Amino acid sequence: MNLNLQTIINICYFAAAVLFIIGLKRMSSPATARGGIVWAGVGMLIAVVATLFTPGLHNLPWMISALVIATGLAWYSGKRVPMTDMPQMVALYNGMGGGSAAAIGAVTLIAIANGTELHPTTATSMALALIGSLIGGISFSGSMIAFAKLQGWMDRRFTFPGQQIFNLAVFAVTVALGVWLFISSDNLSITVIVAFFVLAFLVGLLMTLPIGGADMPVVISLYNAFTGLAVAFEGYVLQNEAMIIAGMVVGAAGTLLTQLMAKAMNRSIANVLFGSFGAGASGEAQSIEGAMKAIDPSDAAVMIAYAERVVIVPGYGLAVAQAQHKIWELTQQLLKRGVKVRFAIHPVAGRMPGHMNVLLAEAGVPYDLIADMDDINPEFALTDVSIVIGANDVVNPVAKTDPASPIYGMPILDVDQSKNVIIVKRGKGTGFAGIENALFYKDNAKMLYGDGQDVASKLIAELKALD
C-alpha cells in the first residue's frame, strides 16, 4: 500500500516537472506568457498536495500552519506592493527560497549527526547537501540585502579598505568548514554545522554590501540562479526528482538571464561582483565643457508641440515619481496634434531588464510606441526633441568618449544626436553610478527642473493652452 502511494506521489512530481517546463516555455513568448504562470502554478499545487500524503510524514500540524501562514502573508504582500517595487519583491521571495534550501540542508546534516537520516548518506549526497546549503545560504542573505537596498532601507554601498581580501578570507574559511564537515560525516558536530551556516550567511551579506543599486538587477538574477542550483542539489539529497529538474532548469535559465543582463550593461558578472561601480575609475576623468541651461515648462511645451518627431526616454526616476500615467497623458496630447512620439527603452532601464516596459504597459502605453535601444538609436538624428525623464547614466555620452569613465563602453541611447534634448530632473545630482553627465552640458540640451509628475502636468496644461 505504502509503495503504491509513493508511486502515485512520484507520478505527481513528474507531472509537476513537466508543467513547470511548459509554463516557463509559455512565459518566454508574449502571446502565451499569461497562461504560462497558470500551468506552472497548477504544477506547484499538485506537488504540494501530493507531498502532504507522503507515507510516514510527522509534524503535520506544524507543516500545515507553516504553509497557511506563509502563503497568506506572501500572497497579501505580493498583491499589495506597487508595480515599481516588484524587483525587490522578487529579491525577497528569491531569498526565501534560498533560505528554504539551506534549511533543508541544515535539517539533513543534523539528522545525519543524530543518526536519523532519511536516506543512506553517500559521498555525493553529503557533498551536494553542503554545496546546496552554502549556495542557498548565500542566496538567502544576499537577496535580503538586495531587498533592503532596493527598498531604500540601506545605504547604497558599503565599502572599507581590504574588503575583497576580507571577503575572500571569510569565503575560504566557510569552504574549509564545509570540507571539514564532509570529511567527518561519520561524526558530525552540531557546533561546526551551526558555524558553517552562520558563515554562509555572512558570505552572502559581505558579497552584496559593496554592490551599488545600478547593479542590483544583475545581482538578483544571479541569486535567482543560485537558489535554483541550491534547490536542485538539496533535491538530490532528498531523492526528489521534481526539485532536481525545476531547480536545475531555473539554475541554467537564471545563469543565462544574468549573462544577458550583464552584457546589456557591458560588464562581466565578475566585474559586477568584485568591482565596485563608480568607485575606482582608472585615471583622470575628462573635464566637461559648457554649462547647464534651464528651460521653463511653457517654452518646452511649445518646442514639443511643433516638433515632428519626439522621443521620450524614461528611466527609473519616472517610476519613482509615479509619472508614467501623466507621461502617457502627455503623449496622447502630442499624438492628437500629429506629433510622432515613441518611447526609447534602454535594456537596463528600471531595476530589472524589461521593468520599464511593464511600468509603461501598466500606464496603458501601447507596445508599438515602445522601441528598444537598437531600433531607436539610428532614429535620434531625425528626432526634433528627445525628452529624458528620470534617466541619467544610460544617456551619458561619456560612455562613448571617455575611456577613463567607469561606464566607458556601456551601450547608451544616442539622445545627444537629436536636435534638441529636454532633461526633466529634480536637481543637479548625478545618477546611480555617481558620474557627471556630459549630455547636460551640450549646446542642444536644456534642463527642465522639477518632479517628473509635476513637470508632465505642467506640460499637459501648457499644451492644452496652445489650442
Residues taking part in catalysis? 393
Output the CA torsion 132→134→135→140 (10° steps): 110
Q: Which is nearer to another protein, 288 or 363 (CB)?
A: 363
- Triad 39, 42, 45: Cα angle to 5°: 155
Q: Specify the DSSP element, H or E, that contains 448.
A: strand 445-449
> From the CB of residue 31, how many other CB atoms can be counted at a distance below 10 Å?
7
**Between residues 148 and 238, which has the closer beta carbon with respect to another protein?**
238
Nearer to another protein, 36 or 275 (CB): 36
Q: Which residues pair with 386 in a beta bridge?
A: 311, 421
> Cell 510524514 identifies what position?
57
| Residue 237 to residue 231: CA distance in whole angstroms | 10
Instruction: For the CB of residue 256, give the shortest distance to another protein in the complex, in Å.
Output: 5
Helices and strands in the chain: count of H runs, count of E runs: 17, 6
Q: Are strands 385-389 and 420-425 parallel, antiparallel or unpaired?
A: parallel
Instruction: Give min distance, CB of 71 to another protein, in A.
Output: 4
Which C-beta is closer to another protein: that of 71 or that of 159?
71
Q: Tell me the angle at which helices 355-363 and 86-114 cross, rounded to the nearest 10 degrees.
A: 130
For another protein, which is the closer residue by CB, 49 or 169? 49
SS3 95: helix
What one-character DSSP code corresponds to residue 342? Answer: E
Closest C-alpha among 231, 207, 88, 74 to residue 148: 88
Indicate left, alpha or beta for 18 from its phi (over 0: left) and psi (-120 to 50: alpha).
alpha
Beta bridge partners of 387: 312, 422
Element (H, E) at 54: none
Least distance (Å) from another protein to the CB of residue 464? Answer: 21
Minimum distance from CB of 55 to another protein (Å)?
A: 10
CB of 340 to another protein, least distance (A): 14
Nearer to another protein (CB atom), residue 284 or residue 374: 374
Q: Which strand (E) or helix (H) includes residue 309? A: strand 309-314
Residue with C-alpha cell 546534516? 109
Min dist. Cβ of residue 423 to another protein (A): 24
Contact 12, 32 (CB under 8 A): no
Q: Give least dist CB 111 to another protein, A.
A: 6
Given the complex with another protein, which of 130 and 230 has the nearer CB atom? 230
